[in-house]
DNA sequence: TGCTTTTTTACAAACGTTTGCGTAATGTTT
DNA sequence: AAACATTACGCAAACGTTTGTAAAAAAGCA
């Protein structure tokens, strides 16, 4: 009852059958007679037998565990993603081993190494900002451990990934503002070294040119995402000869900083200046002055899809080793969400 | 190089020594001669040998993994806690297996069961709201798997836990308002079935009586934490004969709902009515109108302490099985944090 | 040199499970 | 009743590592 868990061996001894018979009976193997099958099952239940997963993992060389490596769990985006990952893994009877790189390459490398050591069947990774060398991921390929990247994708060929298409959202954002009558639309972007900044900018430009508006580079300023940086960026935009009546910002936080600053400058936020941003954090629903819309990137959906892909790869691997080597490249479309709370305020 | 990972056995064969020698050499066991030690080490490095964790787990009956079961990873409180847990586990060379109960008892039970099956050395748990039966935790004790509860503690004797003392924070909150000159202080509390509601209420009462103010039960109303519920609660407080000039709310969200409602009622939030709440979410720093202060519960600290305790228990268990059975009961003091952004606005 | 220590290494069992193959038991067909 | 097919089960190896104990080699001492 107490103490050590029951094993297959004990069941075998008590029932005077062989260990293999018990094992097969528990798995409902067809070559086992129905009577013994039931006998074994009954005793197993009575003893509260539970298979020793460690032994099984060892034996089969599989752990039924997927590793998740991401920069920062406490960021809303990632916690939503992991939450969804865990849920889909759970449904397929996998468990999730979690680790954060804190956006430092060295730690990411260590984590990959650690996870590789037979602990994990596959890996879900959102790469660290600082990662510039990707040998540790190649290594996984050599060890036949599948990896699916999500959100932050390394610039590699032949990888599986799911990411969010920023372009559509960006275009929607600009279109939304154009449709509202704005003609001079500024952008407070993130630092140029972030891929995300590039995507947002491209979407912006594409939307402008598609609407046959000429693109004015001076209306795009980048900032370091801090409150001070945002202030400066906003000031610079306001000083522009073609002073914008609407601004697209890198994310909701930047919008909020900018809004705060604008309010301290007594700018009319209802009619004079409107903001649209990225992320669609729940927070903006609580604000009195918030971006009028925000581009949702569906972290949960991304996480779920990435997990689905990985689990597919794993089951495929189990079935046959046909190395057809197709690579999953899934793009989740970003989508502009109007801030409803804002509008019925 | 590619294909299957190197094993101790292969190293042994190449070097013409026994498997045990290799094993001991790799562990720098003193009975191994220095020369062979180095030879082994060198070859291991060359082959890129990495111990097979699955085999080790199996052999030693230890996984160097701790399980974390909590209600909802995407809640800011828990993601901050897990983040800290992962960090401290990583430092001590443990990994974290993660699972969410989504606040349903049945799933929590399944997760405990799953984690028990030799997968996990110890468990960190924040129990589901609905959990009313605690047999699954007793079961862990029988299997000698230590559990440390955090934040949401079950009503059991002889358990390890770290929780946050709401009382001090509550008292601070009320004192803060009293000191600001408020004499009629209302409270919008959570539903009565939540332990957290009770704690907040007690702190409130204690602070009032300590300041020799008589406690008026009609100034405490509970709500279901929705926007509608909050509105109703606020209305009821405002209708009170002793209309409060300050209100303590169950959490930041409730405060924000209440503030929004108050603003739509044209109430002067700078002088007429002030709010204090719990959680201290980063969000309130972005708001124009926000609670003037919020009680911080230090999720990261709680998570870190819980992990520390668990890891201590595990190392203790490894060293000796002296069942001294002392139970760790750590209380983290909550603390009122003034909303700085609010004040220099 | 011959003996005892001390140092160094090898042997083998154990951890719990799965699974290929062999074999005993049962049943079927003539 | 002999021959065979079928069904039901047991044997034993394998997975990679650790570790107690035995044994070999080296070193010390007389």
pLDDT digits (tens, 9 = 90+) for B209-247: 999 999 999 999 999 999 999 999 999 999 999 999 999
Which protein residue lies nearest to nucleotide C19, measured between its Cα and the C1' atom? A20
CA pair distance A94, A109, nearest whole angstrom: 24
Q: Nearest to residue B297, comparing CAs of B6, B77, B16, B76? A: B77
CA A264 to chain B, closest CA, distance in angstroms equals 8
Burial class, B205, CB count within 10 angstroms (exposed 0-12 / middle 13-18 / buried 19+): middle
Answer whether A73 sits within 8 Å of B82, measured CB to CB.
Answer: yes
pLDDT tier at A272 (50, 70, 90 boundaries)? confident
- Positions 43-62 of B with beta carbon below 7 A from strand C are 58-59, 61
pLDDT band at B319 (very low <50, low <70, confident <90, very high): low
Mean pLDDT within B95-102 = 97
Binary contact (B95, A117; C-beta < 8 A): no
* Predicted confidence (pLDDT) at residue A323 exceeds the cutoff of 60: no
* CATH of the domain spanning A166-297: 3.40.50.2300
* Strand C at less than 7 A from CB of A13: no
Distance, CA of A60 to C1' of C10, in Å:
29
B244: Cα separation from own chain's centroid: 34
Q: Which residues pair with B331 in a beta bridge?
A: B163
CATH pick for B63-156+300-331 out of 3.40.50.2300, 3.40.50.620, 1.20.1250.20, 3.30.450.40: 3.40.50.2300
Give the domain ranges of chain B: 8-51, 63-156+300-331, 166-297
- Residues comprising chain A, all counted: 345
| Nearest residue to B166 (alpha-carbon basis) of B207, B128, B136, B130 | B207
B35 touches strand D (CB under 7 A): no
Q: Is the pLDDT reported for residue B322 higher than 60?
A: no
Model pLDDT for residues B152-181, shown as the tens digit of each residue: 999 999 999 999 999 899 999 999 999 999
With CA atoms as reference, the chain A residue closest to B82 would be A73
pLDDT band for A343, please (50, 70, 90 cuts). Answer: very low
What pLDDT score does B286 carry?
Answer: 76
Cα separation, B23 vs A287, whole angstroms: 61
Residue B52's pLDDT is 94
Give the pLDDT score at A287.
77
Higher pLDDT, B124 or A282: B124
Test the A interface: residue of B2, B6, B54, B343 with most A CBs within 10 Å: B54
CA separation for the pair B309, B303 (Å, rounded):
10
Q: Residue B118's closest CA among A6, A96, A25, A26?
A: A6
- In percent, the amount of chain B with pLDDT more than 70 equals 96
What CATH code is assigned to A63-156+300-332? 3.40.50.2300
pLDDT computed for residue A280 by the predictor? 77
Q: What is the mean pLDDT of residues A46-71?
A: 95
CA distance B129 to B107: 12
- Mutual angle of helices B34-47 and B19-26, in 10-degree steps: 90
The CA distance from B146 to B116, in Å, is 10
Is the pLDDT score of B341 beyond 70? no
Mean pLDDT of chain A: 92
Per-residue DSSP letters for A59-121? HHT--SEEEEEES-TTSHHHHHHHHHHHHHHHHTT-EEEEEE-TT-HHHHHHHHHHHHTTT-S
- pLDDT confidence band for B1 (50 / 70 / 90): very low
User: Which residues in chain B are closer than 8 Å to A45, comparing Cβ atoms?
Assistant: none
Q: What is the pLDDT of residue B345?
A: 37
Has residue B23 got a pLDDT over 70? yes
Residue among B40, B34, B4 at smallest CA distance from B22: B40
> What's chain B's average pLDDT?
92
Confidence of residue B26 (pLDDT cuts 50, 70, 90): very high
CB contact under 8 A, B117 and A55: no
Q: Which of A44, A49, A54, A100 to mutate to test the interface with B (most CBs of B within 10 A)?
A: A54
Model pLDDT, residue A342:
42
Q: Is pLDDT of B59 > 80?
A: yes
Which one has a higher pLDDT value, A107 or A315? Answer: A107
Cα–Cα distance for residue pair A218/B313, rounded to 1 Å: 60
Q: Do domains B63-156+300-331 and B166-297 have the same CATH topology?
A: yes
Q: Are A68 and A82 in contact (CB under 8 A)?
A: yes
Q: CA of A214 to nearest chain B CA: how many angstroms apart? A: 34
Rounded to whole angstroms, the Cα distance separating B63 from B118 reads: 8
Contact B286 A253 (CB under 8 A): yes
């Amino acid at each position: 009852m107490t103490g050590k868990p029951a094993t297959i061996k004990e069941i075998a001894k008590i029932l005077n059958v062989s260990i293999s018979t018990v094992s097969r009976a528990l798995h409902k193997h067809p070559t086992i007679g129905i009577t013994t099958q039931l006998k074994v099952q009954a005793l197993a239940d009575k003893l509260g037998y539970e298979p020793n997963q460690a032994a099984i993992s060892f034996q089969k060389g599989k752990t039924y565990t997927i590793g998740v490596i991401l920069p920062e769990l406490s960021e809303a985006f990632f916690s939503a993603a992991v939450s969804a990952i865990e849920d889909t893994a759970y449904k397929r009877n996998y468990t999730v081993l979690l680790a954060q790189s804190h956006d430092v390459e060295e730690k990411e490398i260590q984590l990959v190494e650690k996870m590789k050591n037979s602990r994990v069947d596959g890996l879900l990774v959102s790469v660290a900002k600082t990662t510039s060398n990707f040998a540790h991921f190649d290594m996984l390929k050599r060890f036949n451990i599948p990896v699916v990247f999500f959100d932050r994708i390394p610039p590699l060929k032949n990888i599986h990934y799911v990411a969010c298409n920023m372009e559509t959202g960006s275009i929607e954002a600009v279109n939304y503002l154009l449709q509202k009558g704005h003609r001079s639309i500024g952008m407070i972007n993130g630092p140029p070294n972030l891929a995300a900044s590039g995507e947002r900018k491209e979407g912006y430009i594409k939307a402008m040119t598609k609407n046959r508006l000429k693109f004015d580079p001076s209306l795009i300023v980048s900032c370091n995402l801090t409150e001070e940086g945002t202030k400066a960026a906003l000031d610079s935009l306001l000083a522009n000869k073609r002073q914008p009546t609407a601004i697209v910002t890198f994310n909701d936080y930047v919008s909020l900083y900018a809004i705060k600053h604008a309010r301290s400058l007594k700018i009319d936020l209802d009619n004079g200046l409107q903001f649209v941003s990225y992320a669609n954090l729940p927070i903006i629903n609580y604000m009195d002055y918030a971006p009028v819309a925000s581009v949702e990137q569906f972290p949960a959906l991304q996480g779920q899809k990435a997990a689905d892909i990985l689990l597919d790869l794993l089951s495929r691997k189990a079935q046959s080793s046909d190395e057809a080597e197709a690579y999953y490249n899934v793009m989740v479309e970003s989508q502009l969400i109007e801030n409803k709370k804002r509008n019925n305020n």
